[in-house]
Amino acid sequence: MGITICAVTPTFAAEVGDVDLSRLSEADLAEVKAAFWKYALLIFPDQDLAPEQHLAFAERFGPIEADRVLDQATASSRLDSKFADISNLDAQGEIWEAASRQRMYKAGNRLWHTDSSFKFRPGLCSLLYARTVAPVGGHTEFADQRAAYDALPDAMKEKLRGLVAEHSIATSRRRSGFTNFTTEEAGRLPPVPQALVRTIPQSGRKSLYVASHAGRIFGMPEEKGGALIDQLIAHVSQRQFVYTHRWRARDLVMWDNRCTMHRGTEYDDLRWVRDMRRATVSDVANSCEQEGIALPA
Ligand code: OGA
Ligand code: MN
């Protein structure tokens, strides 16, 4: 019996059943990939994945990012550096303290964003696996930036053509109230250019590419560019473009960072354990390079 694909909407998000990601045949992988390029977000319930199996599945989509944002001194050493620790646990596996630096930093995940757009070569896709879920809250919302692009008036599409935004982790963290990057951290993460509209090669679909990491638009007055980014994020996050994932333990959810945004929702993180780990696959090149747009000086 082959895998089953059950679409959440005709073009965004699908649940994949009758599949074991730890032993996926080439034929099944081809089906998973075809579904991924179509739906941009796939849910695989009931997976039993050791860390190596999770990484091995991610690697079938490309190289995994291993560079972390925060210095090792703060970063959790619970996990291999190829994982982003999306939990509320400290290095000892205990629920973090209210004032912990990790907690302050990760509050930024509750803003609409796409993973690693603040890196010159951004994230292609992310694969997030839930080990323990919170009994109340802690959902993840996903928005389809392709459908949001399609719904723009023609005049807006024309206005956005060729524009480049500046993305920086410092921008999104400033928005969520985290400003104490160390000199080393800040030096590792200079702002980078990303195309505001991109074409996804595998589907041919155009997509917006906005996130809370984006702060200004090259060639526009700072305030005007910032206002346009805010307006676009508000547009993309309208409910007709959004799917909310309510986690069950052992779900693996993967999304295309090139054409979706996501954000975590609140839960009582000083009370409940929420233990998830994420592998992030790098894109093939900077988005401007892929669009054939000259990098701003
Ligand atoms: C992520 C992320 C949000 C959440 O894993 O990249 O932003 O719900 N997660 O924890
Ligand atoms: Mn994220």
**Atom number in ligand 1 closest to CA 128:** 5
Ligand 1 contact, 134 CB (< 6 A): no
Residue whose CA lies nearest to ligand 1 atom number 4: 264
For 6, residues 6+ apart whose C-beta sits below 8 A from its C-beta are 14, 15, 16, 17
Q: Which ligand is nearest to the CA of 269?
A: 1
Residue 76 has pLDDT above 90, yes or no: no
pLDDT at 158 over 60: yes
Q: Tens digits of per-residue pLDDT, 180-206?
A: 999 999 999 999 999 999 999 999 999
pLDDT of residue 234: 98
- Find the farthest-apart pair of alpha carbons in the chain and give their distance in angstroms, rounded: 57
Which residues have CB atoms below 5 A from the ion given as ligand 2? Answer: 115
Q: Where are the alpha helices (DSSP H) in the chain?
A: 26-39, 51-59, 101-106, 145-150, 154-160, 169-176, 183-188, 222-236, 287-291
- Asked whether 278 lines ligand 1 (CB < 6 A), one says yes
Residue bearing the CA closest to ligand 1, atom 6: 115
pLDDT score for 72 = 74
pLDDT tens digit string along 9-45?
999 999 999 999 999 999 999 999 999 999 999 999 9
pTM above 0.85, yes or no: yes
d(CA 150, CA 142): 17
- Report whether residue 3 contacts ligand 1, using a CB cutoff of 6 Å: no
Structural domains in the chain, CATH included, are: 4-291 (3.60.130.10)
For residue 133, pLDDT over 90 is answered with: yes
Q: Which of 69, 109, 125 to mutate to test the pocket of ligand 1 (most atoms within 8 A of CB)?
A: 109
147 lines ligand 1 (CB under 6 A): no
Give the model confidence (pLDDT) of 239-273 as tens digits. Answer: 999 999 999 999 999 999 999 999 999 999 999 99
192 touches ligand 1 (CB under 6 Å):
no
